[in-house]
Each structure stands twice: as structure tokens, then as C-alpha cells.
């Protein structure tokens, strides 16, 4: 018999579409197993301040289709200190919470890993980030929705680029990872992508632009990850203008529009599967692991490996953009 009588669930770091679906799955699976569940608002910061309330199956009604997170999210400098973590632990004990489900990314799991080592609170992590950059899962909660948002925007901008014979630089999120840029660029028919994982992408883009202009093609779509080494979209457009005096450029920053909106079907299903698995595995004795999906099967990765590991860009997709453009 599991000694876990009450589970706390929280979201931390940047919000991602599908987090609400994951919260719903955790709550309803806990209720199904006759285990109490509490929602912790504002991540680790709310944990320290005791912003904790019991949840029932009705508490999570009508949220599966909503973006954002009903539990809010926040950064917490206090949780980075031993004193802050002690305050958080005291609040968990005060509310009789025996285990945690943490929904977030690397920062969330780093905090959970330290917290578990210090206070032995069993914790399971769910990968919730639009960047799709966590080791141990093929897809993260929120990535599919963000990707589709980016593709829809690129499609609309392409119409204007074609009408006015302009080169558009579209900046998408991805400070350290280029998954959104790579896949939205491929799906949106971009002529080039610039991502953090490729060192010479700017020079390669210049060569392709020159070739296109020589063929008489005057409009192009260039998708830029915000963390690309050549700089953001504005800086890259400025560099291009310095090299070509016969083109007209425009820049569009998609920004936080990629975080919001109703989660896609894929994100709702992924979040639901992982949320249920998190509760079941906690009750089975697992802890200190992230649950992801690899080859459409549940996969378990220790927090240490999830934090230290990295996803590698699929070079085949990079080559496809060159071939198809």
C-alpha cells in the first residue's frame, strides 16, 4: 500500500498550452485512486507562501481546452536558498502533502531535484515548455500548439511578402533551442532558418539569398530563433541590408503569442497521458524522475539526466529546407 495520501501539483517557469490539461489529469487520477490532491499556486514562490488549496474533480472542470495555467506560474529567488526551501517544506507538511507533481522545464526540475535531496518529498516531473528542449521525451507539453501558432503566422506573413516582394525575417521563441524555428520554417516553406545549434547559418543564408536574387526571386521568408548566434531578427535584417542594396526587408517578432491560445489536440492528449502516469507512478513508488513520451511510449528519465542531457537537432530536417527551398 502506498503511504502517499495527498499529492500537491504545481506549474513553474514559462506557461505552456496544455498545462491545464495536465493539472486536470493529475487531479482526476488522484481522485480516482482515493488520494487527496492540492493545487499550489505560483510555483515554488506560492509553495513558500502557503498558497495551497485542496482540489476536487469539479475544481478542474472546463479547463482542458484553456491555455495558460489555472495555478499561475512565477519565478522564485527565495526557493534558490536553503532557507526558502525549508519554508516550502514546512508549508507542505502543514497541508499534509506527501508527494509532488511538478510541471515545467529545466529550472523546475533543478529545484525539484535539490528539494527532494534535502527534504525527501517524492516528486515526479512533467515536461511543460514550448521549446521542446528537454532530454528524455520526444515532445513537451505546449510545443505542438506553439509550433502551429508560428506556422499560422508564417502563412499569413508569406502572403504579404509575396504581394510586396519583400524579405521577411520572422523571429520565434527559442533562446537555447531551435526546434520551433526549424519545424515552423520547414512547414511554412521558409527559404532559410537560423538556429542556435548551427554555427554558420548566417553565411549560408546570405549565399541562398544571393542565389535567389540572381534567379529573380525577390521575396523570401527567413525564420530566426531568438537565440541564434548571429543575433535577433532585427540585427540580422540590418546585416542583410548592409550587403544587398536592392532588397526590401521587414521584421516580425512573434513573441509571447506563441505561449498562449487553446492547446492543440496533441498537447491535450500528451498532457492527459503524462498527468495520469505521474500519479500512478508516484503511488507505485517512483520519484525523482521526469515522465515523457518516446516513440509514443511512456519514458522515465531521472531529474539529473533530464537537466544535464540535451536534445539534438535532426540534421535531416535542416537538409530538407535547403532541398525544398
Radius of gyration of the chain (CA): 22
Note if 245 is an active site residue. Answer: no
Q: Which three cell numbers stand for residue 203?
A: 553565411
Q: Report phi then psi at 194, rounded to 5.
A: -125, 120
Q: What is the DSSP letter of 262?
A: P
The C-alpha angle with vertex 270 and arms to 127 and 111, in degrees rounded to 5, equals: 15
What contacts 206, CB < 8 A, 6 or more positions away?
240, 243
Grid cell listed for 217 = 526571386
Query: Is residue 246 classed as helix, strand or coil in its secondary structure?
Result: coil
Residue 257: phi, psi to the nearest 5? -60, -25
Alpha-carbon distance of 260 to 26, in angstroms, equals 22
Q: What is the DSSP string of 274-287?
A: HHHHHHHHHHTT--
d(CA 295, CA 290): 16
DSSP state of 312: P
Q: Which of 131, 144, 228, 267 is catalytic?
A: 131
Supply the residues annotated as catalytic.
Answer: 131
Amino acid at each position: 500500500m502506498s503511504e502517499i495520501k495527498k499529492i500537491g501539483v504545481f506549474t513553474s517557469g514559462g506557461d505552456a498550452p496544455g498545462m491545464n490539461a495536465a493539472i486536470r489529469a493529475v487531479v482526476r487520477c488522484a481522485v480516482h485512486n482515493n488520494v487527496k490532491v492540492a493545487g499550489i499556486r505560483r510555483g515554488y514562490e506560492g509553495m513558500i507562501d502557503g498558497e495551497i488549496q485542496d482540489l476536487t474533480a469539479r475544481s478542474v472542470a472546463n479547463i482542458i481546452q484553456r491555455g495558460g495555467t489555472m495555478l499561475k506560474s512565477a519565478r522564485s529567488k527565495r526557493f534558490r536558498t536553503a532557507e526558502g526551501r525549508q519554508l516550502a517544506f514546512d508549508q507542505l507538511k502543514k497541508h499534509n502533502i506527501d508527494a509532488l507533481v511538478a510541471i515545467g522545464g529545466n529550472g523546475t526540475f533543478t529545484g525539484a531535484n535539490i528539494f527532494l535531496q534535502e527534504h525527501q518529498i517524492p516528486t515526479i516531473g512533467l515536461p511543460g515548455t514550448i521549446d521542446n528542449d528537454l532530454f528524455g521525451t520526444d515532445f513537451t507539453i505546449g510545443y505542438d500548439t506553439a509550433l502551429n501558432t508560428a506556422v499560422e503566422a508564417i502563412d499569413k506573413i508569406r502572403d504579404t511578402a509575396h504581394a510586396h516582394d519583400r524579405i521577411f525575417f520572422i523571429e520565434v521563441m527559442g533562446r537555447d533551442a531551435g526546434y520551433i524555428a526549424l519545424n515552423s520554417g520547414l512547414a511554412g516553406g521558409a527559404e532559410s532558418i537560423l538556429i542556435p545549434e548551427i554555427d554558420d547559418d548566417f553565411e549560408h543564408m546570405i549565399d541562398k539569398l544571393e542565389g535567389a536574387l540572381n534567379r529573380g526571386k525577390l521575396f523570401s521568408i527567413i525564420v530566426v530563433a531568438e537565440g541564434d548566434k548571429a543575433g535577433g531578427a532585427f540585427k540580422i535584417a540590418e546585416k542583410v541590408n548592409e550587403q544587398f542594396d536592392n532588397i526590401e526587408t521587414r521584421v516580425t517578432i512573434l513573441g509571447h503569442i506563441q505561449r498562449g491560445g487553446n492547446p492543440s489536440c496533441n498537447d491535450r492528449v500528451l498532457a492527459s497521458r503524462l498527468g495520469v502516469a505521474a500519479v500512478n507512478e508516484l503511488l507505485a513508488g517512483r520519484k525523482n524522475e521526469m515522465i515523457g513520451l518516446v516513440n509514443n511510449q511512456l519514458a522515465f528519465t531521472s531529474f539529473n539526466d533530464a537537466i544535464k542531457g540535451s536534445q539534438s537537432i535532426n540534421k535531416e530536417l535542416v537538409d530538407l529546407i535547403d532541398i525544398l527551398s
